[in-house]
Structure 1
Amino acid sequence: MADDTTFSASYDNSATPVARVAQNSIFERFARAGFVMSGIVHLLIGYIAVRIALGGAGGTADQSGAMTELAGQPGGVVALWVGVVAFSLMALWRLAEAALGSSSGPDADSTKSEVVNRVKAFSLAVVYFAFAFSAFGFARGGGGSSSEQSTGITARMMHTTAGTIALVAAGLIIIAIGGYHVYKGATQSFLPDLKGATSTLVRRLGTVGYVAKGLAIAAIGALVILAVLRSEPDEARGLDGAFKTLGAQPFGAVLLVAAGSGIITYGLYSFAMARYTKM
C-alpha cells in the first residue's frame, strides 16, 4: 500500500484545477504531442517555402499545404489522426488555463498579468482547435486551401462598411501579435515558459524561431490591410500569400529561403517545447 508521500507525489490536492488536469499523465502526453505536431507542420511549411524559392515543385506554404504534404506521405493519415487528438487536447488545456488560470505559478502574477495570460491562453485554444479541425478534414481525405478561404472571407467582408472596418482592425491585431512574437524572441521572454535549465541551442532556436514567426504573422496582417486599401481581396492570402509576396521582391529567392529557414527553426523549437514547456 502506497504511503501518503507517494500519493502526494503523484497527485497534488493543493494544486490549481488546471494543474490537476495537466497532472494526468495521459492528458499531458497527448497535449505535449500537440507541440510535436505543431513542429511538424512548421517544418513542412518552411520546407515548402524553401522549395518554392529554389524553383522546385510548387505548393501552398501554409497550414493546409503542410497537411496536404503530410497526408501524402506513408503513415501520414495516421499522423493526422494523432494530430486531431493532440491538437484537441492542447486546445482544451489552453481553454482550462483561460478559464481557471495558469498551472505554473499563478499566484505570482498581478491581476493585470493574469488577465493578459488568460486572454493569450484563450487565443491559443482557438488556434489549436482550428489546427484540430483542419487536421480532421485532411485525415478524412478532405480539407481545403487556407489561402482560398482567407480570400473568400475577405471578399465577403469587403462588401460592407462594417466588414471593411473589421478587416482593418483584424489586420492591426495580427500585426500586433506578430510584433509580440518578435519581442518575445528578441528578449528571450519565452524562457520562463520552460521548466529546468535550458541549453544554448534551445535558447537560440527559440530566439530565431519566434522572431521569424512573428515577422511572418505581421506580414499576414499587412497583406490584409493592403487588400482592403486596394479593394483586392486576393491580396489577403494568408501565410502562403505573405511568402509568395516576399519571393516576388528583389532578391526574393534569398529572402524566401531565409523566411522558410526561420519557420523551420520555430518547428525545431516546438519539439523542445514538447519536452520543456511547463504544464
Structure 2
Amino acid sequence: MTTIMGSTGAAAAAEEASNSRPFIVAARTGFAVSGVLHILIGVIAVGLAFGKNQEADQGGAMAQLATQPAGFILLWFGAAACAALALWQLSEVVFGYRHAAKKTKAMKKLSAAGQGIVFLALALAFASFAVGNGRDSGKSTSNTTAEIYKVPFGPGLLVVIGLVIGIVGVVFVVRGAMASFKRQLNLPASAALRKISMVLGVVGYVAKGVALFLVGLLFVISTLESRPRESTGLDGALKAVRDQPYGPYLLTLIGVGLACYGLYLMLKARFVRM
C-alpha cells in the first residue's frame, strides 16, 4: 500500500511539474528555437538556388549559429529549450488527452510521442554542436542508410522509412491546405495578426510537407536503384531539386516557404494551446 501511495504521489508531482508555468514557458521556447532553425534552413535553401554551396538542413543551420557571437550560449540555449519541449510532449503521452474521444486519443498520444522524440533529437544535436562534435547531417544520413542497406531486409526497411517520411509530408501539405493547424492555436485577438498567422501557417505547412515528401522520395529512389549513399536527407533532397529544370525557382519557393514555417513556429510558441 505504501508503495502504491508513493507511486501515485510521484505521478501527481510529475504531472504538476509538467504543468508549471516555468516549464511551460521553457517548452514554448522550444517551438521558437525550431522556428529559428527553419528560417536559417530556408535562407540557406535560397542561397543554394543562387549558386551558394551550403548544407541545407538542421546541421547547416546549427553550424551557422555556432559561428555567431555567443554561439556557444545560443547552442546550449537551443538544447535546453528543445529538451524542455521534448519532455513536455512526452508528459502529454502519460498525462494528456484524458478527455479526448477514444478514437482520437491514441493518435494524439502517438503524435505527442513522435514530436517528443524529434525535439529530443534536436536537443542532442544542439548539445553536440555546443561541445564541438557537430556533424555533417547529410553525410551522417548517407552513412546510416548505407549501413542499414547491408543488413538483412535493410532495403525493405529503407523503403518503408522513405514511404513513412513521404506520408508525413503529404499530411503536412493537407494540414496546410485545409488550415487545420489552427486548432492547435489560441488565435490572437488582433485580426491582422490572425491573418498573418494563417498565411504563414498555410504556406509553411505546405512547404515543409513538400520538403519532407522529397526526402522520402529520395530514400525510396536511392534504395530501389541500389545507391543508398545518395540518401542524404533534406540537404540532398533540396540539392536534387536545384539540379532539375527550373530547379532554382522551385528551390527558392521551397526556401521561402520553410522560412514562413519558421516564422509560424515562432508565433506558435506564443499562441499554441498547452
Q: Which residue of 2 aligns with 1:268?
A: 263
CA apart distance, 1:234: 2.4
The question of 1:167 aligning with 2:163 is answered no
CA apart distance, 1:19: 6.9
2:171 pairs with one of 180, 192, 203: 180
CA apart distance, 1:17: 8.2
Provide the secondary structure at the position in 2 that maps to 1:203.
helix
Provide the secondary structure at the position in 2 that maps to 1:158.
helix
CA apart distance, 1:85: 0.6
Residues 157-181 of structure 1: per-residue CA shift (max 9 Å, x gap): 1113411111111111111111111
Corresponding letter in the other structure for 2:92: E
Unaligned segments of structure 1, at least 5 residues: 1-15
1:18–1:97 contact (8 Å) kept in structure 2 = no
CA apart distance, 1:149: 1.1
Q: Which residue of 1 aligns with 2:80?
A: 85
- Inter-partner Cα distance in structure 2 for 1:154 and 1:193: 34
CA apart distance, 1:24: 1.2
- Inter-partner Cα distance in structure 1 for 2:141 and 2:187: 40
TM-align CA RMSD: 1.5
The question of 1:255 aligning with 2:247 is answered no
Residues 39-59 of structure 1: per-residue CA shift (max 9 Å, x gap): 110011011111111123x21
1:17–1:100 contact (8 Å) kept in structure 2 = no
CA apart distance, 1:227: 1.1
Corresponding letter in the other structure for 2:254: A
Corresponding letter in the other structure for 2:21: S
CA apart distance, 1:18: 8.1
The question of 1:137 aligning with 2:151 is answered no
- Inter-partner Cα distance in structure 1 for 2:13 and 2:178: 31
CA apart distance, 1:145: 1.1
CA apart distance, 1:193: 0.4
- Inter-partner Cα distance in structure 2 for 1:23 and 1:196: 21
Provide the secondary structure at the position in 1 that maps to 2:244.
coil
Corresponding letter in the other structure for 1:44: L
1:18–1:101 contact (8 Å) kept in structure 2 = no
The question of 1:217 aligning with 2:208 is answered no
Corresponding letter in the other structure for 2:273: K
- Inter-partner Cα distance in structure 1 for 2:19 and 2:137: 35
The question of 1:40 aligning with 2:31 is answered no
Corresponding letter in the other structure for 1:47: V
Please give the residue correspondences for 1:1-279 in structure 2 after superposition, counting only pairs within 5 Å: 20-56=16-52, 58-102=53-97, 106-107=98-99, 109-197=100-188, 199-279=194-274
- Inter-partner Cα distance in structure 2 for 1:36 and 1:80: 13
CA apart distance, 1:100: 2.1
Structure 1's 54 and 125: CA in aligned 2 closer, same or farther, altered over 3 A? same
Provide the secondary structure at the position in 2 that maps to 1:190.
helix
Provide the secondary structure at the position in 2 that maps to 1:114.
helix
Provide the secondary structure at the position in 1 that maps to 2:153.
helix
Q: TM-score when scaled to structure 1?
A: 0.89
Aligned sequence identity (%)? 38
| Count of equivalent residues | 259
